[in-house]
């Protein structure tokens, strides 16, 4: 695992993405990334430098999590214009501006909610952000290692964290359930980038870096699993305040 302390996420992560897309050997390049405030500087950098990226025609944006309607199967995806829609956030803040900048329309792909187990995509670049209780995407604490694409019951603290004032989904009504990728998708992803920023993430970051193996109570600790840790790069902004911790790892 490579851990880098950076002033900002924008250029280091954006350039990492650029290099991976440039080195890709052809065929679809599958990217999955968080749809929240954390990666917005990265998205803006990618949009600004879109002409420097290779082969946008091969890029596919994998919707790795989303809110769903219903309280029991069959579930349905919420509409893209709903304020709680992750897909809508992706279009507004990244995909539509990227289409304008690159001249290419980037396809969103997502699993069918009635056939989650049949969705078989190996993600070339999987970007994850450190969430409120060590979660990532819609993966809730105590999700077991063998879980792949699934419907998660979203705990109240998760919903409150995302919809409170100043957050990406301020004022939105989060549903009780959400679709998400799982640990199995992380374990087979070709390249994994973790984003951590903000002083409020210090304790969570220290906890994440303290693990030496996967602990289901802290979902993002999956990056310490022996099958994947050599493919992980963690970018931590300086304002998190863990530079001394990183130096001693």
Q: For the residues 101-115, what does the mean pLDDT come to?
A: 95
pLDDT of 66 strictly over 80: yes
Top-confidence residue, 135 or 246: 135
- 10 Å CB burial of residue 169 (0-12, 13-18, 19+) is buried
pLDDT at 173: 96
Residues 215-224 pLDDT 10s: 999 999 999 9
3-state SS, 90-139, equals: HHHHHHHHHHHHHCCCCEEECCCCCCHHHCCCCCCEEEEECCCCCCECCE
Residues 165-205 pLDDT 10s: 888 999 999 999 999 999 999 999 999 999 999 999 999 99
Residue among 110, 113, 126 at smallest CA distance from 185: 126
pLDDT of 249 strictly over 60: no
Q: For the residues 8-29, what does the mean pLDDT come to?
A: 95
For the whole model, what pTM was predicted?
0.96
Domain 2-239 fold is Rossmann fold (3.40.50)
Tokens of 60: 């596919």
Confidence of residue 248 (pLDDT cuts 50, 70, 90): low
pLDDT of 57 strictly over 80: yes
Distance CA 2, CA 233 (A): 5
Residues 121-173 pLDDT 10s: 999 999 999 998 999 999 999 999 999 999 999 999 999 999 998 889 999 99
Distance CA 62, CA 53 (A): 18
């Amino acid at each position: 695992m490579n851990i880098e302390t950076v002033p900002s996420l924008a250029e280091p992560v954006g350039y990492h993405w650029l290099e991976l897309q440039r080195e890709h050997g052809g065929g679809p390049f599958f990217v999955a990334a968080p749809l929240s405030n954390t990666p917005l500087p990265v998205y803006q950098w990618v949009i600004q430098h879109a002409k420097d990226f290779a082969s946008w025609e091969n890029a596919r944006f994998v919707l790795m999590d989303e809110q769903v309607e219903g309280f029991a199967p069959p579930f349905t995806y919420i509409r893209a214009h709903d304020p709680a829609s992750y897909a809508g956030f992706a279009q507004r803040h990244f995909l539509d501006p990227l289409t304008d900048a690159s001249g290419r329309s980037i396809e969103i792909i997502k699993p069918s909610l009635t056939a989650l187990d049949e969705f078989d995509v190996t993600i070339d670049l999987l970007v994850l952000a450190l969430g409120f209780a060590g979660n990532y995407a819609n993966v809730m604490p105590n999700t077991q290692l063998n879980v792949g694409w699934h419907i998660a019951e979203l705990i109240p603290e998760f919903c409150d964290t995302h919809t409170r004032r100043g957050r990406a989904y301020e004022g939105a009504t989060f549903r009780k359930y959400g679709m998400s990728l799982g640990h199995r998708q992380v374990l087979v992803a070709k390249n994994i980038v973790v984003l951590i920023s903000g002083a409020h993430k210090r304790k969570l970051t220290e906890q994440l870096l303290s693990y030496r193996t996967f602990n289901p109570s802290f979902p993002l600790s999956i990056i310490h699993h022996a099958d994947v840790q050599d493919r992980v790069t963690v970018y931590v902004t300086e304002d998190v305040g863990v530079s001394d911790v990183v130096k001693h790892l």
